[in-house]
Amino acid sequence: MNLRNGRAIVFDLHSKTSVEQALPEAKDLEAVSATKVADGLIAQHGNDCLVLGTGVLTGSLVPASCCGIVRCGGQRPKTVPLLGFLGTELKMSGFDFVVIKGVAQSPGYLWIRDGVAEFLESKEMSSMDSWARTDKIRADQGDSKIQVVAAGPWGDAGLGSSQLVTNYWGGEDKVGMAAEFGKRGVSAVAFRGMGELELASPEQHFDEALLLIREHIERLGKSRGLASYSEIAARDDFAKLAHRHVACYGCPFPCRTFLKTSEDPGELRLVSKEPGYLHYDLAALEKAFQLGADASTASEVIATCAKAGAEPVAVMSQMERMGKTCTLEEAEEVVGQPAEIPLTGATNFERSFENPREYDECLGLGLCPRYWAKVGYDLEKIASSAGSGLGWSPK
Partner 1 sequence: MSSSIILHIDDKADYFGLVLKTKSEGLVLGRPEGVSYGQQSSGSGGPGAKPILLREPCDLCGGDPRCVKICPTGCLSLEV
> What does the DSSP assignment read for 201-249?
SHHHHHHHHHHHHHHHHHHH-S--GGGGT-GGGGSHHHHHHEEEEE--T
Per CB under 8 A, 76 contacts partner 1:
no
Count other Cβ atoms within 10 Å, centred on residue 292.
11
Q: Up-side HSE of residue 393: CA atoms within 13 Å toward CB?
A: 1
**Shortest approach of partner 1 to residue 253 CB, angstroms?**
8
Burial 334-358 (b: 16+ CB within 10 A, else e): bbeebeebebbebebbbbbbeeeeb
**Mask: binding to partner 1, 90-129, rule CB under 8 A, as x and -?**
----------------------------------------
266 binds partner 1 per the rule CB under 8 A? no
Tell whether residue 278 is a contact of partner 1 (CB under 8 A): yes
Q: How far is the CB of 205 from partner 1 (least distance, A)?
A: 9
State yes or no: residue 323 binds partner 1 (CB under 8 A). Answer: no
When asked if residue 78 is in the footprint of partner 1 (CB under 8 A), the reply is: no
Q: Which of 116, 210, 234, 322 binds partner 1 (CB under 8 A)?
A: 210
Separation CA 395–CA 30 (nearest Å): 8
> Which of 21, 126, 141, 230 touches partner 1 by CB under 8 A?
141
Question: What single-letter DSSP state applies at residue 391?
Answer: T
User: Binding residue for partner 1 (CB under 8 A) from 77, 275, 387, 391?
Assistant: 275
Within residues 219-248, the interface with partner 1 by CB under 8 A covers 223, 243-244, 246-247
Strands 108-113 and 186-192, sheet pairing: parallel
Q: Is 185 in the site for partner 1 (CB under 8 A)?
A: no
Count residues near partner 1 (CB under 8 A).
43
Integer CA distances (angstroms), 347 to 30, 177, 199, 358, 378, in order:
25, 14, 35, 16, 23
Q: Quick count: other Cβ atoms within 10 Å of Cβ 7?
A: 15
Residue from 28, 143, 264, 333 that binds partner 1 (CB under 8 A)? Answer: 143
206 binds partner 1 (CB under 8 A): yes
Whose Cβ is closer to partner 1: residue 71's or residue 138's? 138
Q: Cβ distance 144 to 224 under 8 Å?
A: no
Q: Based on C-alpha coordinates, what's the Rg of the chain?
A: 20
Note whether 357 binds partner 1 by CB under 8 A: no
Identify the CA nearest to 166 among candidates 177, 251, 60. Answer: 177
Give the footprint of partner 1 on this chain (CB under 8 A): 61, 63, 131, 134-135, 141-146, 167-168, 192, 194, 199, 202-203, 206, 209-210, 213, 217, 223, 243-244, 246-247, 250-252, 254, 258, 268-276, 278
